[in-house]
Chain A
């Protein structure tokens, strides 16, 4: 104890003796000092520009071009087509637009269900695991496995399990439990939506679990103790303390889950291949098919730009709504 106090005093004395010693004798000029953060940010900014913004800009440019196989080799030479691609994409009376709209609604429904279930499962698991008990660490690690597995390996395993004749799912549901009259198809037809949802939730909920678990660490124990003394039950504690305290964490979590799920390409692609069944035709797969299957990259890009606009809009609305909420709660 003594030695610590001594060293603290000594340290303070040293600091007093040499003011500005830490900054060194060559004090940089004001301009240089203010430019430094930007110089440090520059590499990151340049890479960001290169990796994210340049492709986005190229994609937007492509959406105004009639880019087909005939111009693929030198796509700069493809003729400009104005808003034609967009007109095709949003003409909801014509088949291309209709298909896009159906795919959009399918994706919305899928995203709402998937994000909702991921959040519910993740939060429930995190709350249950808050109290320490034997084996908690092992369970926590186990729960994170789906998140840690490479997507392709995980989803291809699900694809095997969902096979009609030799899959594990039908073996259990039909052969062992006898719940269905005949083995069901999971990878084609209407059930494919549920197959996709199951895989998506399985893959996504550990992330919600991880984030909520981190959020829970920040809630002071005293709050629960005080509530318990006041006679609040478990449900009341969750409703009145846990959920309100997690609010800011949840806002970010739901937004991120929404963006990931809405854009998810890997899961449906690995599960269904190039041609997803209509019931599970998510918008990312639909756009892939619209550009790579028909080699019409202009229309595909136009659809992507529309998707980008929609996601930006949702994000903006979300940010405005949540920041307004924060201001009110600050007051």
Chain B
């Protein structure tokens, strides 16, 4: 009996060992069609919460199953986990077949080689490159290479303002330049109310704001060869301008320095903050109990003149891309699924629900996208938006420069002076943390 037990427990251990070793290492090199009847899909969190996303997506996935017989297993991954989950999947080779990625990560993830390149042949299968808006395609990977992902939802930034607070302070129209914004802001910031909201501890949001300001100051954060260039005069001026809204102009509440969970949107809905710079905020305002006529929308201010290209850019190309994992076991099914999700019908339906702009040209004609808010976002995207740098180190850039801005906000909130020197030092520290290549 004892001998039997020893043998049995030994056997269990050995089999565990064998299973675990089998789990490690992804050596598969390309897609196959071994399991043509199922797909795993990691969706990003687009709705108010994960449950809401499931409710929105599941009927569509059933529709896809009815048409093709392919069952799609859905997992909605929160933004805080998504990039780490993708990296882990890349390392182990045990990933989903199809996944959503933040479009700014496209070049970073492209460089890992984990995503299926969308060459002409693959693009043909989903209807060709021409179906998509050019600005959205610009944010799908390094320039000159096959896209690593396909645009799924597009968004851009706008200035949202609280109509009641504007009326109370006697402000008649939203500011069109930063000088006007500061002047208006001073009128609005009093009696515990503040003019502008910020998410000082949200690294990505910090990046989106300083990237645009950087463009307006003629800075790019990366030089032509893709090397980090965080301490150029333009970059320093951009970061300083953003933090100065709190430090010098005093139109952002100091408490915003620790915001990272969209608290600035609740402040906006509670009439505590008059303006936010945000992308597609309508559904969040609604969930916060704000009626559609209580807020207005205008293009993000520029330094002078009207929004346009070059120094008058006023938004990043924001959005979600859809990618196929290179070692999928259902390549044809995955392509079929991307085709389904980017079809005119699904694009109209999903973008309408999520309040985003369809990156598919034909879907934009739907009257639902003529709402004043979406018109501003669409015009911005078409005429005055630029993609974040499409370099392999983009996601590292978001972390280190985002942290630098967070630290500067913390200093400003704590009453420390924010000078050109301190901004430059913080950006220099960020640049030194970038991997050497």
* Surface stretch bound by A, among B136-144, B161-169, B333-341, B393-401: B393-401
Residues of the B chain whose Cβ atoms lie less than 8 Å from the Cβ of A70:
111-113, 392
Q: Which residues 266-308 of A have a CB within 8 angstroms of B? A: 273-275, 277-278, 289, 292-296
Instruction: State the CA gap A275–B201 with chains docked (Å).
Output: 8
Q: Which residues 159-175 of A have a CB within 8 angstroms of B? A: 163-165
Interface size on A, residues (CB 8 A): 39
Assuming A50-B20, A188-B410, A189-B414, is B260 touching A95 (CB within 8 A)?
no
Determine if B87 and A185 form an interchain contact, defined as CB atoms under 8 angstroms apart: no
18 extra interface residue pairs, beta carbon distance < 8 Å, beyond A164-B258, A188-B414, A275-B201: A40-B6, A43-B10, A43-B13, A47-B13, A72-B90, A73-B91, A73-B93, A73-B114, A75-B91, A95-B429, A96-B433, A163-B258, A164-B255, A185-B257, A189-B414, A292-B87, A294-B396, A295-B396
A46 on the interface (CB 8 Å rule)?
yes
Residues of the B chain whose Cβ atoms lie less than 8 Å from the Cβ of A185:
257-258, 410, 413-414
Assuming A50-B16, A165-B255, is B392 touching A69 (CB within 8 A)?
yes
Residues of the B chain whose Cβ atoms lie less than 8 Å from the Cβ of A46:
13-14, 16-17
Determine if B433 and A189 form an interchain contact, defined as CB atoms under 8 angstroms apart: no
Supply 29 A–B pairs (Cβ within 8 Å), ascending by A. A36-B2, A39-B10, A40-B9, A42-B6, A42-B9, A43-B12, A46-B16, A50-B17, A70-B112, A70-B113, A70-B392, A72-B114, A74-B26, A74-B27, A94-B432, A164-B254, A164-B255, A185-B257, A188-B406, A188-B409, A188-B410, A188-B414, A273-B260, A278-B407, A292-B84, A294-B400, A295-B87, A295-B108, A295-B435
Residues of the A chain whose Cβ atoms lie less than 8 Å from the Cβ of B406:
188, 275
- By CB atoms of chain B within 10 A, which of A72, A75, A292, A296 has the most? A72
Partner of B10, one of A42, A163, A277: A42
Q: Could you mark each residue 47-74 of chain A with 1 if its beta carbon is under 8 Å from any beta carbon of chain B, else 0? A: 1001000000000000000001110111
Instruction: State the CA gap A277–B414 with chains docked (Å).
Output: 13
A115 on the interface (CB 8 Å rule)?
no
Residues of the A chain whose Cβ atoms lie less than 8 Å from the Cβ of B20:
50
A196 on the interface (CB 8 Å rule)?
no
Determine if A293 and B400 form an interchain contact, defined as CB atoms under 8 angstroms apart: yes
Determine if A69 and B112 form an interchain contact, defined as CB atoms under 8 angstroms apart: yes
Determine if A294 and B434 form an interchain contact, defined as CB atoms under 8 angstroms apart: yes
B203 on the interface (CB 8 Å rule)?
yes
Q: Which residues 196-245 of B have a CB within 8 angstroms of A? A: 200-201, 203
Q: Could you mark each residue 1-32 of chain B with 1 if its beta carbon is under 8 Å from any beta carbon of chain A, else 0? A: 01000100110111011001000001100000
B46 on the interface (CB 8 Å rule)?
no
Instruction: State the CA gap A75–B126 with chains docked (Å).
Output: 33
Instruction: State the CA gap A96–B410 with chains docked (Å).
Output: 22
A89 on the interface (CB 8 Å rule)?
no
Q: Give 5 nearest A-B pairs by CB, closest first.
A: A43-B13, A188-B410, A95-B432, A293-B399, A39-B6
Residues of the B chain whose Cβ atoms lie less than 8 Å from the Cβ of A75:
91
Instruction: State the CA gap A170–B435 with chains docked (Å).
Output: 40
Residues of the A chain whose Cβ atoms lie less than 8 Å from the Cβ of B27:
74
A187 on the interface (CB 8 Å rule)?
yes
B321 on the interface (CB 8 Å rule)?
no
B384 on the interface (CB 8 Å rule)?
no
Task: Spell out A's residues near B (CB within 8 Å).
Answer: 36, 39-40, 42-43, 46-47, 50, 68-70, 72-75, 94-96, 99, 163-165, 183, 185, 187-190, 273-275, 277-278, 289, 292-296
Instruction: State the CA gap A70–B434 with chains docked (Å).
Output: 15
Instruction: State the CA gap A164–B435 with chains docked (Å).
Output: 35
Partner of B435, one of A99, A188, A296: A296
Assuming A42-B9, A294-B396, is B433 touching A95 (CB within 8 A)?
yes
Residues of the A chain whose Cβ atoms lie less than 8 Å from the Cβ of B407:
277-278
Residues of the A chain whose Cβ atoms lie less than 8 Å from the Cβ of B389:
none
Interface residues on B, range: 35 or more
Determine if B6 and A187 form an interchain contact, defined as CB atoms under 8 angstroms apart: no
B398 vs chain A, min Cβ distance (A): 9
B402 on the interface (CB 8 Å rule)?
yes
- By CB atoms of chain A within 10 A, which of B84, B93, B258 has the most? B258
Residues of the A chain whose Cβ atoms lie less than 8 Å from the Cβ of B414:
185, 188-190
Residues of the B chain whose Cβ atoms lie less than 8 Å from the Cβ of A296:
435
B259 vs chain A, min Cβ distance (A): 9
Instruction: State the CA gap A105–B127 with chains docked (Å).
Output: 58
Residues of the A chain whose Cβ atoms lie less than 8 Å from the Cβ of B203:
274-275
Residues of the A chain whose Cβ atoms lie less than 8 Å from the Cβ of B16:
46-47, 50
Q: Which residues 420-437 of B have a CB within 8 angstroms of A? A: 429, 432-435
Determine if A72 and B255 form an interchain contact, defined as CB atoms under 8 angstroms apart: no
Instruction: State the CA gap A43–B5 with chains docked (Å).
Output: 11
Instruction: State the CA gap A189–B114 with chains docked (Å).
Output: 39
Determine if B396 and A188 form an interchain contact, defined as CB atoms under 8 angstroms apart: no
Assuming A50-B20, A273-B201, A294-B396, is B6 touching A36 (CB within 8 A)?
yes
Determine if A188 and B26 form an interchain contact, defined as CB atoms under 8 angstroms apart: no
Residues of the A chain whose Cβ atoms lie less than 8 Å from the Cβ of B91:
72-73, 75
Partner of A295, one of B257, B395, B413: B395
B403 on the interface (CB 8 Å rule)?
yes
Residues of the A chain whose Cβ atoms lie less than 8 Å from the Cβ of B255:
164-165, 183
B148 vs chain A, min Cβ distance (A): 13
Assuming A39-B10, A47-B13, A164-B258, is B26 touching A73 (CB within 8 A)?
yes
Nearest B residue to A95 by beta-carbon distance?
B432
Residues of the B chain whose Cβ atoms lie less than 8 Å from the Cβ of A43:
9-10, 12-13
